[in-house]
A and B are shown apart, each in its own frame.
Chain A
Amino acid sequence: MCTLEQRGRVFVLTLTGDDEHRLSHALIASIRSSVASVAAAAASAGPGTALVTVGEGRFFSNGLDNIWAGTSRERLQGLVDALSPLAADLFALPMPTIAAITGHAAAGGFLLALCHDYRIMRGDRGVLYMSEVDIGLPLPPYFVSVLRSKITAANALRDVTLRGRKLKAAEAKEMGIVDAVCPGPAETAAEAIKLAEQLAARKWDGNVYASIRMSIFPEACRSIGIVEESDEEKRKHFASRL
């Protein structure tokens, strides 16, 4: 389902197999477990680490496991509820995060990519697609919160959510949703790892990095249940470093 490896200062989380990487309870749990390992390893590794999330095959992720959920609203809501803590894990992760979008990223899969700090995408194939309007599903509130936090141009947000626009990498880059476009999946993964190494080399304190991330996106964090540190706690941290 997913594997985790460490290459120097960079952790690489791979969604394995040439399938749609549908976010089932099992896959979500597996990813969360890997992300937790990364957070723990970061604590002992010290400042200067980064995470790259990459997919094998034609898909980054085609979203929540709607196939399994079928017509059951309960099952669908259960999956929606299960993805939220993973989003929180990523927003709170004490290191820079990069999504290497090596294939289609739709709905929950697109959201997963948006939960990362940076997005690098293959330009030859694959689209980013918020399919809910086409399928006839409302967007969960925390989905909207994350979308609004990361896609701040009004017309871009409209195109993604209200038009169900399928974005190729080049368009997504123009809209500020993707940071770099690469020719194919191998280059995309390589570029993502290279960026990860550059960011890791800045040797940022992971705890501070995560804190600043959360202060940039407070509404998204609130929507996924992250409670930001108080100013008092932040000041104490600062004083201890003087």
Chain B
Amino acid sequence: MARRWWTLPLFLVSALAPSFSLAGPAFENTAIVRTIELGGSLVHVSTTYAVKALEPGQTTYQIALSKVERAKTSWLEAKVKGQTTPLKLSEDESSAEYLLSISLPKALAVNGTLNLVLETMQTHATHPFPEQAAQNEPQLLKYETDLFTISPYTTLVQRTKIKSIAPNVISYTTPHDVDSFVRDGSVTRSGGTITYGPYHDIQTDTDFVAKHQQSVSVHYSFDYPVIEVETLRRTAEISHWGSNLNIEDKAHLHNAGPTLKGHFSRLEYQSQNFQRKQAPHILSDFTLHLPPGVTNAYFYDQNGNVSTSHLRTAPSVAKGSKAVQYSVLQLRPRYPVLGGWNYSYTIGFDTPLQDSVSYDAKDGVYMVGVPVMTPIPGTVVNDAEVKIILPEGATNVKFVSPFPEISNSMSTHISYLDTAGRPAVTFTYKDLTYKHTGTIYVSYQVPLSAHLKKAVSVSAAFFSLFAFAFMARRVNLNLHKK
């Protein structure tokens, strides 16, 4: 098996050594390509590691992320390039960085190669610069990142590509002191893509990071409003009598682009609309894709109903089958949301219960699937709370979230015709993006007696009226004796 006598002792030593600088010669990165797609509130980073195993029987590959980068990352997924199933990963925090240990699909032999892709979604990674913009000025954002992609293993060549959607990049930093790694230029630009690299023979240990790691920033123009949903409260109420699932979202939108300089000019806004050249940092409308089979949709804010909306419903599809067509809801807030402004609203809709709830007759167990959120395209949700209200008398409640939640809790919610109240499950999340669209599954049991409790309580109220009438008929209120 081993050709050199020192291979096995070295393997044992490297397995014991601290992982930062001596994760050792278990792997070698033949190439690392990090592609950063710049957005407004969301930045999509995709890093491809071309990995070569130097030791036999390797089943775990480690990826390093700096503390700053991990703090910005709200979603990550590792896959083999070209495949769709995500690989299992576990996280460890050391004093200098975060290490993700990825379980390879099968063990790599010596000199075996594999292409791994780590996809991450960063939130709150850009900031407007200049921080203020007048109504007719463009929207410019700045993004900062580390120049070198760190890794516990030696990298033969690495490059970082930063892509902006709009081709006009205002400026980008030129790296300094990188001549020892560079063969051609250290940075090149082609339209909206800036390429840092290729950099050769990098070993990102502590000395290297202290001496050569530097921050590079890109100042670019972004043509869509930068929207953050500061809080999102979703309530899903299940009704067995009405065979209905009502979902209501209360959202607080914030335009996180450059704050408005000067005052808002309605004349300027109308003339921009007329010429179809609206300033990029103004949010005037957005579109939501609701489930098919939506009825009774409503959209209101603190002032009352907002009529500037348009709903195109799609026909209902059976539970579990993939929706071919979504219901499209175009919303126009009561006023255009300029930089630094906020807008709060409530939307809600009903869907038939048979599209979301299944019933296992053998155990009498119901299971409901509630989507975590309806994403607004290109936005991040800072703080989300999903509350699922089960029918009165639900017992044996079990639930599972599609991705780890910050916290979950059970409470009692009191609504119409309730006597004891309904059990409710609440999940809290933070920094949700369009990658976090999953379904929460809750299973529960409701006996027939709990269903009938509603009708029986109303009957009791009616009967008390009749009992009062019974006694009232027998009371003589005549003033004079007959």
Asked if chains A and B come from one complex, the reply is: no
Residues of A participating in the B interface, judged by any CB pair closer than 8 Å: none
Residues of B participating in the A interface, judged by any CB pair closer than 8 Å: none
